[in-house]
Structure 1
Amino acid sequence: MRGGSPAVGAPAPSLRRFSPRGHAPIRLVCFPHAGGSAGTYRTWAVQAPADVEVCAVQYAGRGDRYHEEAAENMGDLVGPIATDLVRAGFAAAPEALVLFGHSMGAVAAYETARRLSARGQHPAALIVSGHPAPSLARGATVHQGTDAELLADLRRLGGTAGNLLDNDDLMEVMLPTIRRDYQAIETYRWQPGAKLRIPITVLYGDEDEEVLGDEADAWHEVTEGDCTVVVFPGAHFYLEEQSEAVLARVLSSVRAAV
């Protein structure tokens, strides 16, 4: 469309629309955790009310993008996503766009919001889950370990079904991609810059060893908008055990912002 914004639905390699709602006035774009895929949010896409279209990000290296090489750093991960949001027309009405991310996805959503904001296309809100504030990112070296050590960490976090982790053939195929995801988040270092100007909602589980209360509270440092922290019972993947309750809270934040 010359001289105007691209239409919603234009090709965007990293975005998946499981329940397309072209006329929905609100779009919630969800970023998966390390090793996760867009399919993580298929249920949310179906369960969301008619005026909210839930879209999911499909990182390279998995699902229908299996033959693409996964990113090794956060910049390479989020750069194409921000471009796709613009190409798909989502950033043409940023006041109706909300970004959500869990674990690694929280940082990816935040960095994407920064890139859109730098273009003057500030999303309506950011919702993050299961990760410390960017300046407190812990870093780690699991990605440098053996396959057995990587599998052990996946089991510790609990986000992947045990029967999948026990499938040697599947893990042989997927571990290189998962390792790159780990590398991207473990080597991430926050770079100071302009604060966001949007509200942030922070979600985490009260038994999650990956993010403590003060690390969640510190998200307020990256925005000039309001920052609300909500605690759920559970560990790192509390949102899988309480999917409906978490979606309800997410939608509450969406509606408050849009």
Structure 2
Amino acid sequence: MTSTLLLCFPHAGAGPSFFVPWRSLAPAGLDVAPVALPGREQRLAEPPLRRVADVVADVLPWVRERAAEHQGVALFGHGLGAVLAFEVAGRLAAEGAPAPRGLFVSGAAGPASRLGPGATGLPDAEFLDHVERAEGYRRPAFDNPALRMALLPVLRADIAMHERYRPAARRRLNVPITAIRGSQDQLIGAERLAQWRDHTAADFRSACLPGGHMYLLDFPAALLGLIDGRLHHRVPSAR
């Protein structure tokens, strides 16, 4: 069986290790490839980037290299990761590379939706409280003072990046898009999720899984099953 490379882009403040457990959960033929961004884990010594365009330029050489080893590529991202996956898919299309088999955007409104300033510039305690209330998710690592000092600059850079993001001007992607949310997500409702429909000239589907904004923490196997089913045209979710 030929494998599909699933490039996984992390949500704000996260690193590639978030996706490592997915490798053992993924259905056969789905090769989970976490994307490592500057400023975290094995790239901790590098300063975190604050512009989506800079992140895209940074990861593209690695993406091209990994894609060359597989028969097909799909992209997944949650929150900020959805934006990064979308922009990387756009760059690949602009370069004339083979179109990805699918773009899976999770827990994010369409790219034309303005996140706007909110948390950027707040003092540390207020910043973390704002982000946690918005996401409905507490990062346990931030309860450790040493880890908090190490990780806070990355989270701040990611949130600033997302708040100032504006999508690159381009035609609709000729890539199927599947937009996914948790059924109890108070941050991204069904209408905001459906905004992704306007960014593909191919098929669009939306899907819900149990849970809140960070549903993927509790239901990674169900999410990977949904992705695999969509790639193999077995997902009956609403259009």
CA 45–97 in structure 1, closer or farther in 2 if over 3 Å, else same = same
SS at match of 1:98: strand
**Structure 1, gaps ≥5 residues long:** 1-22
Report the CA distance between 1:47 and its aligned residue. 1.7
Report the CA distance between 1:158 and its aligned residue. 4.5
Any conservation in 1 of the 2:116–2:164 contact (CA below 8 Å)? yes
Following superposition of structure 1 onto structure 2, how do residues 48-127 of structure 1 map, counting pairs within 5 Å? 48-86=26-64, 88-90=65-67, 96-121=72-97, 122-127=99-104
Deviation string 1:153-186 (CA, Å, 9 cap, x unpaired) is 3432244543x22111211111111100111111
**Distance across 2 between alignment mates of 1:159 and 1:82:** 30
Match of 1:40 in 2: 18
2:5 is aligned with 1:27: yes
CA 242–92 in structure 1, closer or farther in 2 if over 3 Å, else same = closer
Deviation string 1:46-80 (CA, Å, 9 cap, x unpaired) is 22233221101011101011000111111111122
Quick one: which of 175, 194, 206 aligns to 1:217?
194
Match of 1:149 in 2: 126
Match of 2:237 in 1: none
2:212 is aligned with 1:232: no
Quick one: which of 129, 147, 157 aligns to 2:106?
129
**Distance across 2 between alignment mates of 1:24 and 1:154:** 40
Report the CA distance between 1:215 and its aligned residue. 1.2
**Structure 2, gaps ≥5 residues long:** 235-239
Match of 1:197 in 2: 174
Report the CA distance between 1:192 and its aligned residue. 2.8
Report the CA distance between 1:109 and its aligned residue. 0.1
Report the CA distance between 1:190 and its aligned residue. 2.0
Report the CA distance between 1:230 and its aligned residue. 0.4
Any conservation in 1 of the 2:175–2:200 contact (CA below 8 Å)? yes
Deviation string 1:202-253 (CA, Å, 9 cap, x unpaired) is 0011322321211111111111001100022321101111122112111112
**Distance across 1 between alignment mates of 2:5 and 2:69:** 12
Query: Which one-letter code corresponds to 1:67 in the other structure?
Result: A
Query: Which one-letter code corresponds to 1:32 in the other structure?
Result: P
Match of 1:176 in 2: 153
**Distance across 1 between alignment mates of 2:4 and 2:114:** 30
Report the CA distance between 1:104 and its aligned residue. 0.4
Report the CA distance between 1:254 and its aligned residue. 2.4
Query: Which one-letter code corresponds to 2:11 in the other structure?
Result: H
Any conservation in 1 of the 2:104–2:179 contact (CA below 8 Å)? yes
**Superposition RMSD in Å:** 1.9
CA 109–47 in structure 1, closer or farther in 2 if over 3 Å, else same = same
SS at match of 2:103: strand
CA 65–135 in structure 1, closer or farther in 2 if over 3 Å, else same = same
Please identify, of 188-197 and 172-181, the stretch whose mean Cα deviation from structure 2 is larger: 188-197
Any conservation in 2 of the 1:132–1:210 contact (CA below 8 Å)? no
2:163 is aligned with 1:186: yes
Match of 1:18 in 2: none
**Distance across 2 between alignment mates of 1:159 and 1:114:** 30
**Sequence identity percentage:** 31
SS at match of 2:225: helix
